[in-house]
Amino acid sequence: MKLTDAYAAASVCTPTRVALITGRTPAETHITNWTEPKDRDNSGLKPMLPPDWNLNGLSPTPGIPHTFTGPMLPAILRDAGYKTIHVGKAHWGASGTPGADPRNLGFDVNIGGSHTGEPGSYWGSRNYGSPAKVNDVPHLEAYHGTDTFLTEALTIEANKAVGQAVAEGRPFFLHLAHYAPHYPWQMDTRFTQRYADAGLKGLDGTYAALIEGLDKSLGDVLQNLEEHGVAGNTIIIFSSDNGGENRPPATTVDENAPLRATKGTPYEGGVRVPMVVRWPGRIAAGSTSSGPVITDDLFPTLLRIKGVKQRQQYVRGIRGRDLLAEFSGSDSSLSDRTLYWHRPNSHGRTPTPEFEPFSAVRAGEWKLIFFYPGRRYELYNLQKDLGETQNVLAQNPTVAAKLSRTLNETLRRAHAQTPVDPITKVAVGLPPVLASSR
């Protein structure tokens, strides 16, 4: 099933990754930007100061400064008898904190996961590291000095871990999170030549090859499941933690058209992501759903699929929806659901208006965005204008008023933080409720 209206919980990685394994929104966890290093705020400082957010990320141990603690999916599944396996990018907690190691979050196995959100290198010839040693990918020493690309090494190790779980007769939960196609963009020489031959030169060809490496990895995982005889009762969910990258130099192959803008923004290019789900016998092959879904829906959905007995206590009060009925094609109630995003931090690298602190809400065809600097609203009709080219706020005051009230009340219930005025050092407050008439 292809879910055409799938969203990341945030427009940057760490908050979305936390939402996946906690079921809690960034507004609730106060993890509203990417983490690392410890105790450093990566938010831009203009035109507003960031809030006192949980900049050290997720922690299994209460009391660690600037962290969020709560029930976590891998720990719940481990306690329910599953072998829990993490392979690849973790980036849940800052270095020097318990959350930096996925094993502390409930994973039995961790291969390649640490505090970092990007690898020092994708190349085995460079030991997947850099001279600075701050982003070295751990646990892959067997591939050091070889020509094995990072995506391939992680795939091999993931398949080994699954094979071991099957040999042990245990059900398993695999979280395979590739670093690709994140910066630093480096050539995957298995595929770059074909793109050069097709006319994609430089970074364009490099980026395209990174994407093909992901495709091959998924194919290898599927083949491994078939070989071990478990493909028929394994659900696979493919998605992303934010929209396409914005780091210069820009490429032509990672443009999000027809969606507007990129990672770090509230526009569709920043938060809408691919999501494809495969579950033989339960999901019709080739089916499509246009119901809006979001990362934190996966927490209650997987707990239901896995048959966790204490499920109700874990899902009480969370925003995420159980998607089982949606997967079976028997539920159309998602079409008018309300989703919201909250990022009271600026994008550190790109201090332009679209990267300013924001909150946003989508209800049905309508999407309302609030930018904290200037306290300005924008309204778009996604059904008529998917590219968000026409701000129709002035023409639809009643719709804008209703959505602004929804956004204000939702953020208030979540105890959301807001940016701080750099002069008064006082929080600027939640998005205001608009009047319903001009």
* Cα–Cα distance for residue pair 320/338, rounded to 1 Å: 11
Given the candidates 3.30.413.10, 3.40.50.620, 3.40.720.10, 2.170.260.10, the CATH classification of the domain at 2-336 is 3.40.720.10
Tokens found for residue 47: 């035109």
Note whether 158 and 178 are within 8 A (CB).
Answer: no
Residue (of 58, 136, 132, 129) closest to 100 by Cα position: 58
59-82 average pLDDT score: 97
Query: φ, ψ for residue 298 (rounded to 5)?
Result: -70, -25
Residues 66-76 pLDDT 10s: 999 999 999 99
Residues 399-417 pLDDT 10s: 999 999 999 999 999 999 9
pLDDT of residue 255: 77
On average, the pLDDT of the chain sits at 94
Q: By percentage, how much of the chain surpasses pLDDT 90?
A: 84
pLDDT of residue 274: 96
pLDDT band at 132 (very low <50, low <70, confident <90, very high): confident
pLDDT of residue 395: 97
Neighbour order of strands in the sheet with 172-177 = 109-111, 83-88, 172-177
pLDDT of residue 253: 64
pLDDT band at 334 (very low <50, low <70, confident <90, very high): confident
Which residue has 């039995």 as its token pair?
108
Dmax over CA atoms of the chain, in Å, equals 67
Q: Tell me the whole-structure pTM to 2 decimals.
A: 0.96
Q: Please report, for the chain, the start and end positions of each structural domain, with discontinuous segments joined by +.
A: 2-336, 338-413
The backbone region for 429, taken as left when phi is positive above 0, alpha when psi lies in -120 to 50, beta otherwise, is left
Q: How big is the chain by its Cα radius of gyration, in Å?
A: 21
pLDDT surpasses 80 at 111: yes
3-8 average pLDDT score: 97
pLDDT band at 295 (very low <50, low <70, confident <90, very high): very high
pLDDT of residue 349: 59
* Cα–Cα distance for residue pair 84/113, rounded to 1 Å: 13
pLDDT of residue 412: 98
For residue 234, give every residue at least 6 positions away whose Cβ sits within 8 Å of its Cβ, in sequence order, or none: 225, 279
What is the distance between the terminal CA atoms of the chain, rounded to a whole angstrom?
43
pLDDT of residue 438: 54
pLDDT surpasses 80 at 251: no
* Displacement of CA 369 from its chain's centroid (Å): 20
Beta bridge partners of 176: 87
89, 308, 421, 428 from 424: Cα distances, Å: 39, 49, 6, 10
pLDDT band at 164 (very low <50, low <70, confident <90, very high): very high
- CATH architecture for segment(s) 338-413: 2-Layer Sandwich (3.30)
Listed range (148-152, 267-271, 326-330) with the worst mean pLDDT:
326-330
pLDDT surpasses 70 at 55: yes
pLDDT of residue 91: 98
* Displacement of CA 49 from its chain's centroid (Å): 24
Q: By percentage, how much of the chain surpasses pLDDT 70?
A: 96
